[in-house]
Amino acid sequence: MRVIVERDDGYVDTESMAWYFDDFRRWHSSERRVLRHVRGRVLDVGAGAGRVALELQRRGHEVVAIDISPLAIDICRKRGVRDARVLPFTRIESSLGPFDTVTMFGNNFGLFATPRRARWLLRRLRGMTTPDARIIAVSYDPYQTSDPHTLAHDERNQRRGRLAGQIRLRVRYSAYATPWVDYLMVSSSEMEEILAGTGWSLGRVFRDDAFYAGVITRS
């Protein structure tokens, strides 16, 4: 099955839903390699169909999987995720913790939405994690593209004082459409800039061309 991803400047693309259900062997190399940095109790942000939560459960981790979509959480539960909750990222609170690792796979660093919201949520995450906790965050470098429509979009962003990879999008399938949401794609250097002053810092980075996974540690 494929869905339509629509950007607010009129650009549309299609995306396969199959990767939401992929087992570990079919993940991006960067995601497979970074998984060994997961420790202890895990908060899986933007769990989707539960692929990350299920793999971590298989490896013996206690996982709390959260997603804004009730249907996604229903699928997680049906597939065997033991603790799956309908919860917007912006509603996380200390009563959920403490966590040793926060996972944001599948380009889910984008769920921070804007640099300002990212810094607010990063400080909140610091208050619900253990002293040696880490965030495993996956993003896509928006500068690694030659698509003229995307380049024009990114240039407009920069003229307005925004990061190139700040986008507003929705997903459509048949007669259904999600609400419009803000989403954030950043280079690794931009990720470092966002982390500055939040009590977190970027450590190792695992890359698959423009797609990469960063290990963010408490500082």
CA 106/CA 109 separation, integer angstroms: 8
The percentage of residues in the chain with a pLDDT greater than 90, rounded to a whole number, is: 96
pLDDT in tens, 201-217: 999 999 999 999 999 99
Section 70-83 average pLDDT: 97
Q: Which residue has the tokens 């253990």?
A: 130
Other CB atoms within 10 Å distance of the CB of residue 210: 14
CA 93/CA 180 separation, integer angstroms: 25
Provide the pLDDT for residue 188. 98
pLDDT in tens, 156-172: 999 999 999 999 999 99
Provide the pLDDT for residue 185. 97
Q: Whole-number mean pLDDT of the chain?
A: 96
Section 177-193 average pLDDT: 96
pLDDT in tens, 119-140: 999 999 999 999 999 999 999 9
Q: Quick one: 33 exposed, middle or buried, by C-beta within 10 A (0-12, 13-18, 19+)?
A: middle
Domains present along the chain, CATH in parentheses:
28-167+178-218 (3.40.50.150)
- Non-local CB neighbours of 24 within 8 Å, separated by 6+ positions: 32, 35, 55
CA 162/CA 77 separation, integer angstroms: 38
The 10 Å CB-count burial string (b at 16+, else e) for 49-58 is bbbbbbbbbe
Other CB atoms within 10 Å distance of the CB of residue 141: 20
Task: Report whether pLDDT(176) > 90.
Answer: no
CA 195/CA 121 separation, integer angstroms: 11
Q: Following DSSP, what letter does each residue of 59-125 receive, concatenated? A: TT--EEEEES-HHHHHHHHHHT-SSEEE--GGG--GGG--EEEEEE-TTGGGGG-SHHHHHHHHHHH
20: tokens are 């939401």
Task: Report whether pLDDT(29) > 90.
Answer: yes
Angle at 93 between CA 137 and CA 118, to 5 degrees: 40
Confidence of residue 91 (pLDDT cuts 50, 70, 90): very high
Q: Quick one: 12 exposed, middle or buried, by C-beta within 10 A (0-12, 13-18, 19+)?
A: exposed
Task: Report whether pLDDT(1) > 90.
Answer: no
Supply φ then ψ for residue 6, to 5 degrees.
-115, 125
CA 62/CA 183 separation, integer angstroms: 28
